[in-house]
Chains A and B, each alone.
Chain A
């Protein structure tokens, strides 16, 4: 026999049933949203990894080509020029005796010397053997020591952390050279200070100079409108290293490159 109490319990159970279904639908909707966000971030990560992989291949190819050119210059062109120089030096007395002006001979010698120096310098830039042999701090020091007409200072801290991988070092080295060359090219500077601080988590390169400096916006604007490869090469390498590059304009203008070591490729 059905009584009122049983019916009321049935109604309450029915109401609970409806509430459970509504909660179920909301849980489905919320879980779905979470799943979509997760999938979206996975997809973004995949795209980012693919982009970085492509960038790495481009930069690796560039470096391989540079090494080939450097090797050709160093092993084939340079010895030829050195032998020409030796021939000129050894035959200078005979040539003077034949009536050729000795000043012209010494001028040609100077030109050959200059070409040899340029080739050696280009070879260093194209394939920095010092970097591969002695590491990043030594390579940057060597580059800074060659700068003339500017009061250059530097300090390197935590060098053991800096020696991580060849790829990271090579990219930091290239970025450093490109940045300093641009500063020297476009700014009238008298002082330049470079610091390289290595830690477990990152390598931080800081370039401080007394030039006018630029801001981040101006740098990205230059890079976007630049037809050259220098600035875009900096940006590509920064992206590949998943690093940050900050420009500060002021009395002492500053450029800070921070490369995370755990995520760097």
Chain B
């Protein structure tokens, strides 16, 4: 089981590079004027950095939970910013800002007080997944009701949004059981985490497709 887990883990880790490779523009990575692509690139950099930090923390401190706490907050802010940008005519998009502030405050509360930075931040992470699932569903609803795009399969944002929906739905599923499994036998997590790793691979492949199409557009 461990060997398979290691294989899937390293494939998943390497897959973070795929969207970045697709992203590399002719004039250089950071010279793009496309805000949305930049947000996604930053998202990928955060993910890779977190994975690297995780490896580093696990080597020296045997606990990577503080990194996960910070990662959750940054990802929440990026997701909010991304959807704020793509919801051009959405009346409630201004709510994203106070929700983000509220989430940051709540996460810090969890970080210092309730769950503590040495424990897994299950609650904030669950909120992040539900938040992203709701936003991506709103996006699908808006696209479907507005009918402004000729072919969804040729639209970069559709793929990016699909990637978010698939990834955060599967991580939501895994997070639901994580606390309970951890309390019983944390070794059993090696069975459930591959779901998250496989969904990460799917996420990166679909995100690459989305970025590729966005760059073409």
Among A4, A25, A28, max chain B CB count under 10 A is at: A25
The answer to the question of B118 belonging to the interface, with a C-beta cut-off of 8 Å to chain A, is no
Q: Given the interface contacts A2-B180, A2-B184, A18-B166, does A29 sit within 8 Å of B158 by beta carbon?
A: yes
Contact with B along A28-46 (1 / 0, CB 8 A): 1100110110010000000
Taking CB as reference atom, which chain B residue is nearest A18? B170
Contact A10 B169, beta carbon cutoff 8 Å: no
Tell whether B101 is near chain A: CB-to-CB under 8 Å. no
Closest residue of B by beta carbon distance from A20: B169
Tell whether, in the assembled complex, residue B152 and residue A18 are in contact, meaning their CB atoms are under 8 Å apart: no
Instruction: Say yes or no: B165 contacts A21, CB within 8 Å.
Output: yes
List B contacts of A36 (CB < 8 A): 147, 149-151
Complex contact A32–B192 (CB within 8 A): no
Q: Is A1 an interface residue (CB 8 A)?
A: yes
Q: Which residue of chain A has its CB nearest to the CB of B141?
A: A28
Query: B173, A33: Cβ atoms under 8 Å?
Result: no
Once the chains bind, are A11 and B147 in contact (CB under 8 Å)? Answer: no
Rounded to whole Å, the gap between the CB of A157 and the closest CB of chain B is 48
Q: Is the CB of A32 within 8 A of B195?
A: no
Q: For B143, what are the chain A residues with a Cβ–Cβ distance below 8 Å?
A: 32
Question: Could you tell me the distance between the alpha carbons of A35 and B145 in the complex, rounded to whole angstroms?
Answer: 10
Q: B4 contacts the other chain (Cβ, under 8 Å)?
A: no
Q: How far is B169's CA from A29's CA once the two chains are assembled, in angstroms?
A: 18
Task: Name 23 A/B residue pairs within 8 A (Cβ), A-sorted.
Answer: A2-B180, A2-B181, A2-B184, A2-B185, A2-B188, A4-B191, A7-B191, A8-B191, A11-B191, A11-B192, A11-B194, A11-B195, A14-B170, A14-B173, A15-B195, A17-B173, A18-B169, A18-B195, A18-B198, A21-B170, A28-B140, A32-B144, A39-B147
Query: Which residues of B are interface residues toward A (Cβ below 8 A)?
Result: 140, 143-144, 147, 149-153, 158, 162, 165-166, 169-170, 173-174, 177, 180-181, 184-185, 188, 191-192, 194-195, 198-199, 202
Known: A11-B191, A14-B173, A33-B152. 14 other contacts (CB 8 A): A2-B180, A4-B191, A8-B191, A11-B192, A14-B170, A14-B195, A15-B198, A18-B169, A25-B162, A25-B166, A28-B152, A32-B143, A36-B149, A36-B150
Q: Which residues of A contact B (CB under 8 A)?
A: 1-2, 4, 7-8, 10-11, 14-15, 17-18, 21-22, 25, 28-29, 32-33, 35-36, 39
Q: Which 5 A-B pairs have the closest CB atoms?
A: A2-B184, A14-B195, A7-B191, A29-B152, A25-B162
